[in-house]
Chain A
Amino acid sequence: MNTTAPSSAAPDGPAVALDSVHKRYGSTQAVDGVSLTVARGEFFGLLGPNGAGKTTLVEIMEGQRQADSGTVSVLGTSPWPRNVALLPRIGVQTQASAFFVRLTAREHLQTVAALYGADREAAERALASVGLTEQGEVRVDDLSGGQRQRLAIASALVHGPELIFLDEPTAALDPQARRDLWQVLRDLKGAGRTIIYTTHHLDEAEVLCDRVAIMVSGRIAALDTPARMIAGGSPTTRLLVPAERLTLEAARAIPGVMAASLEADMVVLETLESGPVLARVDELAGLQGVQTRTASLEDVYLELTGAGAA
């Protein structure tokens, strides 16, 4: 890589820089003043309910849509209008339907590779990286849902882009395929690639992402590392005790317990002081089978998106 390139193409500039980006469709303000910066090599998660504007925001970054106002800089340059110099440097996961008809998985990837000016070996590597080598000769129409999704991801990786956009990449995958894909994503990050992805799997975002942004109604409601976001959220700890060993009354009588309820065969205690409460539970019921739940990214997410208010 040319490390002497000046200012605009400097490899250490941010991967993406957005400044008060707006986008409106008719009377709907899809993106309402979003400013954020994604550093090179960062794994960045974009979370939010359906209709929050995630897809529009990503499409603006990809250069598929024009922002109404604000500035958009991707790898030091503007993605809009169609920027043929920028396109080979970014990879975009397509819909799992966007395959050249009646081709095999391998032929499809070879075609995509050729469109990017990459060679056949690149197609083979991309196929292997998503675990589809064995399905290489299967027609795209005959692939299963999960296989189609992995092929769509491979289409985004085939040309070795610096910046990769993935749209709910693990949505249709079974748990094993999902874990396998996590490894693919971690390897990409390890290779210095920047990844921006949207997901509804908050546990996954918590594990994979360097930073996450939670988007609500076109705005960024929170943006931080998952750990700091969780720490800043609800400090409540939930203790789950097998119901046959502790009654609700006894649980509510423990000092420091704010609330206790029965969920299935467990008594659930909510507290801000998990240490003393745990010690008391140990005396009353023993700690065997007792589970501790601290706040997760999901709790923070639900609180911010309003679904947790109920």
Chain B
Amino acid sequence: MSAYAALSQAGYRAYTRDKTTLFFTFAFPLLFLVVFGLIFHGQNVEESGKPYINYIAPGVLSWGVANAAVFGVGFVLMQWRRDDILRLIRMTPVRLPAVLGSRYVLAIGIGIVQAVLFVCVALLPSFGLSLASSWPLALPVLVLGITAFLAVGVVVGTYAKTPEAVAAVANCLMIPMAFLSGSFFPLDAMPGWMQSLSRVFPLRYLNDGISAALTGSGGSGTIATSCAVLAAFALVFGAIALKTFRWSDKS
């Protein structure tokens, strides 16, 4: 078995054997969907005339996937460094891309399962999401979004030394970003400055891309723009992650 396959398998086993994290990774976004879905059930956004669920479902899904990517790799890297597993890996001839690649394939897998589950629930009559024919295009948006947020998580995991620090830093990044990017409230109903500000956050483009693919808002142009911007974010964050990565705190 290759080092990459072995690390992926070890990561998969660790992940699926941790029932609590497993449950909340999938239940957390669904909880938000239920809360917002029930609050805004049957209502339309005044400014655009579209049903709330068309904003909330893609928004909460994007946030949930991004959140899981940041937290997942952030916790694992912090814990690997704290428990000296990173030192163990560093003393084997494994190259860094194989190590990060194993986390990447896990994050993509988790994100796709999250998305499928989430969309299936949102399609239930009580939430009332209806899928546009462009829904398969959500996949490239999702993959690029996960890539960008995984890179953010690697940076968090490089600097955070305790689980509390990972949670604090990741929450500090992800919760304000979720509000400012329109994950929880339709940006169309927000003031102009907020709509402009949202453009500096990668989550805004993940929202837009997923929303365009699933509900058809904005069409294929929006999906292409989202993909391009997310790819750019992924490149920049990826470069920072590789540049700042440390095997250990020793020198």
Contact = CB atoms under 8 A, between A and B. Distances in A.
Nearest to A158: B92
Contacts of B10: 100, 103, 107-108, 111
Interface string B120-151: 00000000000000000000000000000000
21 contacts: A64-B87, A64-B91, A64-B250, A87-B91, A87-B92, A90-B91, A94-B84, A94-B88, A97-B83, A98-B87, A101-B14, A101-B83, A102-B18, A103-B10, A103-B14, A111-B7, A114-B2, A115-B92, A116-B92, A117-B3, A155-B88
A99 interface: yes
B3 A98 contact: no
Interface in B182-201: none
Contacts of A155: 88
B94 interface: yes
B88 A98 contact: yes
A115 B94 contact: yes
Given A100-B85, A110-B6, A62 B17 contact: no
B153 to A, nearest CB: 17
Interface residues on A, range: 20 to 34
Given A82-B90, A84-B93, A102 B13 contact: yes
A110 B3 CA distance: 10
Interface in B214-236: none
Nearest to B89: A115
A112 B85 CA distance: 10
B250 A114 contact: no
Contact of A94 (B87, B95, B247, B250): B87
B93 A116 contact: yes
Contacts of B5: 114
Interface of B: 1-3, 5-7, 9-10, 13-14, 17-18, 79, 83-85, 87-95, 247-248, 250-251
A276 to B, nearest CB: 57
Contacts of B89: 115
A59 interface: yes
Given A92-B91, A115-B92, A155-B88, A103 B13 contact: yes
B84 A97 contact: yes
B64 to A, nearest CB: 23
B185 to A, nearest CB: 38
Given A98-B88, A102-B17, A87 B93 contact: yes
B6 A98 contact: no
A111 B6 contact: yes
B251 A100 contact: no
Contacts of B92: 87-88, 112, 115-116
Contacts of A102: 13-14, 17-18
A66 interface: yes
Given A114-B3, A115-B94, 15 more contacts: A64-B87, A65-B251, A66-B251, A84-B93, A84-B95, A87-B93, A88-B93, A94-B87, A94-B91, A97-B83, A98-B83, A98-B88, A101-B14, A114-B1, A114-B5
Interface in A108-139: 108, 110-112, 114-117, 120
A64 B84 contact: no
A115 B99 CA distance: 10
A95 interface: yes
A115 B84 contact: no
Interface in A55-86: 59, 62, 64-66, 82, 84-85
B20 to A, nearest CB: 12
A179 to B, nearest CB: 27
B250 A59 contact: yes
Contacts of A64: 87, 90-91, 248, 250
Contacts of A85: 93
Given A66-B251, A82-B90, A84-B93, A98 B85 contact: yes
A94 B9 CA distance: 21
B166 to A, nearest CB: 15
